[in-house]
Amino acid sequence: MVLLSVLSNILANLEPFIKGHQEMLSNDILAPFLADLTVKTDEERIKEVNMTTDRINAKEMPNTEWLYPETTKNFDRLPLQYRGYCGYSLVRYDRLLIPANPSIGVLRHQNNYYAFSSREAAKEFVLSIDFYIQMGAEAAKCSPELIQLLELHQQFASITPYSQAKEKGKMIEKPITKSDSSTQTDTHILEPNIVKSYEWNEWELRRKAIKLANLRTKVTHSMQTVLSNMRRDNTAQTWLPK
C-alpha cells in the first residue's frame, strides 16, 4: 500500500508535465516523422544486431578491454555505467538518454563497464574516454536528477554520502514508515539553589533600596531617669579574715 501511494503521488506530480508535452507534440505533429518508421523495443533492437557489421571489433581499438556475451560469465549481470544508457549520446547530444546495446560489446575501463548504442558511438568514446566521463559528470550537474537516475553518486562522492549507502550505487533505501522512540530525563539534574531573598519585581527592589538609603540618616537615642542619672553598676571584692 505504501509503494502504491508513492507511485500515485509520482504520477499525480508528473501529470502537468505530461499534459504540456502532449499539447506541444500531438499525434498530428509526430505522424509525418513516424510515417515510414517502425518503433522498436529494446529487445527487438538487440536481436537485430549483425555480428559482422554492428559488433565492436576489439582489434580496431587497441589498449582497450571488451567483453562479449559468449565469452563472459554472467554477462547480463554486469553493473553497467549510466544505468545502461549510452555514455557517448549523453555527452554528444546534450543529455539525450539512448539505451545502450550490450550485445555489441561492453568496454571495461578502470573496473567500470560501459555499453553503447552503436559501433560508431563506441569508437568515438574510446578516442577520449576520460573526456567523455568528465563531460558526463558536467552534464549531470546541469540536470541534477540525472545523478540519481544514472547512479552517478561515485563521481560526486564529495557532496553525497556515497560511502554510507548499503549497496554500491544504490542511494535509495527503504523508508521507515513507523518506529517507536522513547526518552528519559533525570528528575533533578542540577542541585537546587533557591535564593529566598531574590526579587524579580522592580518596584520591590526599589522599595528595598529606599529603605536602605533611609537607614543612613537614622541615629540611636538613649534616655535616663532622675534616679539613674550619673549612675552605673559597681562591683567589689573583699578578702575574708583568716
Is position 132 within any domain?
Answer: yes
Cβ atoms of residues 114 and 87 within 8 Å: yes
pLDDT at position 169 is 47
Is position 11 within any domain?
Answer: no
Residue type, 60: E
Is position 156 within any domain?
Answer: yes
What total number of domains does the chain contain? Answer: 1
Is position 118 within any domain?
Answer: yes
**Distance, CA of 136 to CA of 97 (rounded, Å):** 11
**The three grid cell numbers given for residue 242, joined into one nine-digit string:** 583568716
pLDDT at position 178 is 67
Mind giving me the DSSP string for 161-222? -GGG-SBTTB----------------S-SS-----TT----HHHHHHHHHHHHHHTT-----
pTM (2 d.p.): 0.55
Is position 45 within any domain?
Answer: yes
- Cα 109 versus chain centre, distance: 29
For the chain, the average pLDDT equals: 81
Is position 91 within any domain?
Answer: yes
Mind giving me the DSSP string for 7-64? HHHHHHHHHHHHHHHHHHS-HHHHTTTTTT-----HHHHHHT--TTTTS--GGGSTT-
**Distance, CA of 122 to CA of 55 (rounded, Å):** 10
**Residues 103-145: tens digit of each pLDDT:** 889 999 988 999 998 889 999 999 999 999 999 999 888 888 8
Q: Which residues of the chain have pLDDT under 50?
A: 162-163, 166, 169, 171-173, 176
pLDDT at position 162 is 47
Strand boundaries in 57-123, DSSP class E: 65-67, 106-109, 112-115
Is position 196 within any domain?
Answer: no
> Quick one: which of 123, 124, 104, 126 has its CA closest to 115?
104
DSSP code at position 223: -
Q: Looking up cell 518596584, which residue turns up?
A: 203
Query: What range does the domain containing 99 cover?
Result: 40-164
pLDDT at position 167 is 52
pLDDT at position 209 is 93
Is position 233 within any domain?
Answer: no
Terminal-residue alpha carbon distance, the chain = 121
